[in-house]
Amino acid sequence: MLGNLNVLEQEKIDKLMTEMVETENKSKFGTNAILGVSLALCKADAVEKGVYHNLKNIIKEKYGKDATNMGDEGGFAPNILENKEAMELLKNALGKAGYTDKVVTDMDVAASKFSRSGKYDLDFKSPDEPNRYISPNQMADLYKSFIQDYPVLSIKDPFDQDDWEAWQKFTASAGTQVTGENLTVTNPKRIAKVMGEKSCNCLLLKVNQIGSVTKSLQVCKLAQSNGWGVMVSHHSGETEDTFIADLVVGLYTGQIKTGAPCQFEHLAKYNHILRTEVELGSKAKFVSRSFRNPLAK
């Protein structure tokens, strides 16, 4: 009876089922049967609208089923040949999910992995060819084109951890959040140097790197007191423990990096944050673009 309807038409299908019931108490189909179909539609609708699932479908259609296999942190790894291709995939997924202009993105570049003697090899997985290396300035221009053409609001590790001049110039001119992980390794001495040279404006906080909760609190306060953003992060080989979700809330960081929404060690953190929001009730607030400073009035 529902063969020609789309799962996204929840209200229309619910109305149709109700109209097909002959009695007020829904004895023809039974309330449980109608509710079961209605709930199934709602869940299917949610899957259909999700950014992650839309991205998977787009990748599968363009690159084949093998391209949707998940990496270490739950992300997809299709055989992308051009730098902007990944940005286009994500942009299309956001559009299909109905979140254009509602979601912004963070790029995790890890540029130290393809740094070559002061330059960068964007095709580093291919046989080495120095002629294709590009300069830090060319890298910066590429990032700025991403910021202009896509909803990029944050970039992590855009340059090698020792390319101090490139970090400084880009942070001063990009007009976006620039996050340091390899640059700072959550090390208080290195963080102080980065702050002095204004090499980035957001700290990636990994509790496992700094070694204790007390030190984590100290570097977070140091970063926030200097106007930095703070992004609490999991680490590779993560467990289902939800402590960092509590840390995000307790430190008012407004940002968490904990992998794609698919594997339970990642989902556990996201679900814990959602439960915390319910517990906080009216005290919880959506800060939108004030995520770098959630306490701002």
Active site amino acids: 73, 206
Q: Which H or E run includes 84?
A: none
- C-alpha–C-alpha distance, residues 297 and 293, integer Å: 9
Pairing of strands 119-120, 115-116: antiparallel
The amino acid at residue 264 is F
Cα atoms in the Cβ-side hemisphere of radius 13 Å centred on 98: 7
The amino acid at residue 237 is G
- C-alpha–C-alpha distance, residues 9 and 2, integer Å: 11
Residue pair 157/183 in contact by the 8 Å Cβ criterion: yes
Q: How far is CA 289 from the centre of its chain?
A: 14
Strand partners, 231: 204
Crossing angle for the helix pair 164-173 and 188-197, to the nearest 10 degrees: 60
Strand partners, 203: 180, 230
Residue listed under structure tokens 């009035």: 297
- C-alpha–C-alpha distance, residues 145 and 183, integer Å: 23
Residue pair 83/124 in contact by the 8 Å Cβ criterion: no
